[in-house]
Chains A and B, each alone.
Chain A
């Protein structure tokens, strides 16, 4: 089985590669469209800013490539947000895999610090990357923008308001949190993704 991690102008790519290695899986880190299309599984990670990253993806033809993928795809953090329709971060159009807009957190009281940083629980889990043992478990988040609850919501977390901690539509899966930094729970999620038939 070949696993490709999409390489582009974002951080966090090596963390995912390291996490897969700990699971005994070697991944190919590449921005090559042909290799991405031919992979059995594709991971689209990322830490960074939405508008500049979208610009990079468009310039390199990666936007159309990702939209057209038929194999299981896992978007992580910024990767998940870029798979939505539009983001308030840099006011940019995104890949529109998930028909929902990304919004900025607005704090209601001083305890509501932004970014939402640290370990928080995931609930109402749906889709093949989760299993029932993960309900209410903690995963690691770092983000200032969020995906509202929608038809594609596959996991829910409450911070300032309930938002989508996971999304799922057909072959596209995504998590707002970082499974590669979420201890044994995160490793279970990555393993479930690798096990999708």
Chain B
């Protein structure tokens, strides 16, 4: 039976993870590769690395980091941030990334999804959607949640699927960082209206929230950052808990 996936997300700036961790025993607490290896050992199913600097001169450093990640971990990983054209995708996949995640560029130039699917296959193309619930509707945002677009979540998600995206990574801006659970109602509606996997993001604060995002939100995978980085939830404990709740995990 296909397992539900648990995906830690690491924000990377200048070659280091930005959000602090209280992990001990790491030679360099902020080294993304060391953290990634640790998550692999604990049972993470995939990893996402977000390049949150993405300025031109820092790209090369980040590409070198992607190479180091690929050499050191034995599970799939996705790279997001700083992808503006097809050559960026080629550069990251050549460095060893399994998938790339697009956000602002997909809204500005939806054709890029089609081009990625055609050139590299749908399976490498994760489309990230940041949306906020306001005035009775889910509005999509670009530029890290700063600029409101004219896209509505459910119609945009359908469009993205039709263009050839392999997965959707949906972050509810209303839930992100609040730690009161994922946006399960919207997730459920997305999951039931689309035929590609949905990765839920934003809102994880407890193990019960992970259970609910799979049972109520019908998500295929759940992404979280701080609860893992700060050691509030151990991935191995989380999986033991989910197994007891009859959720199929690896």
Interface residues of A (CB under 8 A from B): 11, 14-15, 18-19, 21-22, 47-49, 107, 110, 113-121, 138, 140, 142-144, 158-159, 178, 180-184, 186-187
Fill in one digit per residue for B114-133: 1 if any A CB lies within 8 Å of its CB, else 0.
00000011111000000000
Asked if residues A117 and B166 are in contact (CB atoms below 8 Å), the reply is yes
Interface pair B70/A14, CB less than 8 Å apart: yes
C-alpha gap A180/B70 in the complex (Å): 11
Can you give 9 A-B contacts (C-beta < 8 A)? A11-B120, A14-B96, A19-B74, A118-B5, A118-B220, A121-B1, A181-B76, A182-B74, A183-B40
| Cross-chain contact of B70 among A11, A15, A143, A184 (Cβ < 8 A) | A15
Residues A118 and B197 in contact, CB atoms below 8 Å apart? yes
Question: B148-203: which residues lie under 8 A (CB-CB) from chain A?
Answer: 166-167, 191-192, 194-197
Contacts of A187 in B (CB 8 A): 74
Contacts of A119 in B (CB 8 A): 2-3, 5, 45, 250
B195 surroundings in chain A (CB, below 8 A): 107, 110, 113-114
Contact B94 A117, beta carbon cutoff 8 Å: no
Partner of B74, one of A47, A143, A181: A181
Q: A14 and B167: CB pair below 8 A?
A: no
Contact of A158 with B1 in the complex, beta carbons under 8 Å:
yes
Tell me if B221 is interfacial: C-beta within 8 Å of chain A.
Answer: yes
- Residue contact A181 to B166, C-beta cutoff 8 Å: no
Shortest distance between the CB of B131 and any CB in chain A (Å): 21
Q: Determine whether B86 belongs to the interface, using a CB cutoff of 8 Å to chain A.
A: no
Q: Cβ of A118 and Cβ of B2 under 8 Å apart?
A: yes
Nearest CB of B to A176, in Å = 13
Contacts A113-B195, A118-B3, A182-B75 aside, 9 further interface pairs with beta carbons under 8 A come to A15-B98, A47-B121, A47-B123, A114-B195, A117-B166, A140-B75, A143-B123, A183-B40, A186-B74
Interface residues in B67-93 (C-beta closer than 8 Å to A):
70-72, 74-76, 93
Contact of B75 among A22, A117, A181 (CB under 8 A): A181
Give the contacting residue for A138; candidates B98, B191, B194, B250; CB below 8 A: B250
Among B1, B191, B192, contact of A120 (Cβ-Cβ < 8 Å):
B1
Question: Which residues of the other chain, B, contact A15 by a CB distance below 8 angstroms?
Answer: 70, 96, 98
B3 close to A138 (CB less than 8 A): yes
Cβ–Cβ contact B3 & A120, under 8 A: yes
B94 to chain A: which residues have CB within 8 Å? 14
Min CB distance B190 to A, Å, is 11
Q: Tell me the nearest residue of chain B to A12, going by C-beta.
A: B98
Q: Are A115 and B122 in contact (CB under 8 A)?
A: yes
In the complex, the answer to whether B75 meets A115 with C-beta atoms within 8 Å is no
In the complex, A138→B194 CA distance in Å? 25
From B195, which residue of chain A is reached at the shortest CB distance?
A113
Which chain B residues lie closer than 8 Å to A118 at the CB level?
Answer: 2-3, 5, 45, 197, 220-221
Do residues B192 and A117 form an inter-chain contact, with CB atoms below 8 A? Answer: no
In angstroms, how far is the closest chain B Cβ from the Cβ of A38?
27
C-alpha spacing A160/B222, complex, angstroms: 22
Task: List the B residue with the shortest CB-CB distance to A181.
Answer: B76
Contacts of A186 in B (CB 8 A): 74
Closest Cβ of chain B to A117, distance in Å, is 5
Q: Is the CB of B40 within 8 A of A117?
A: no
- 3 A-B pairs with least C-beta separation: A138-B250, A119-B3, A119-B250
**Contact assessment for A18 and B2 in the assembled complex, using a CB-CB cutoff below 8 Å:** no
User: Complex: how many Å from CA A120 to CA B196?
Assistant: 17
How near does chain B come to A129, taking the closest CB pair, in angstroms? Answer: 17
B78 CB to nearest chain A CB (Å): 12
Of all chain B residues, the one with the shortest Cβ separation from A14 is: B96
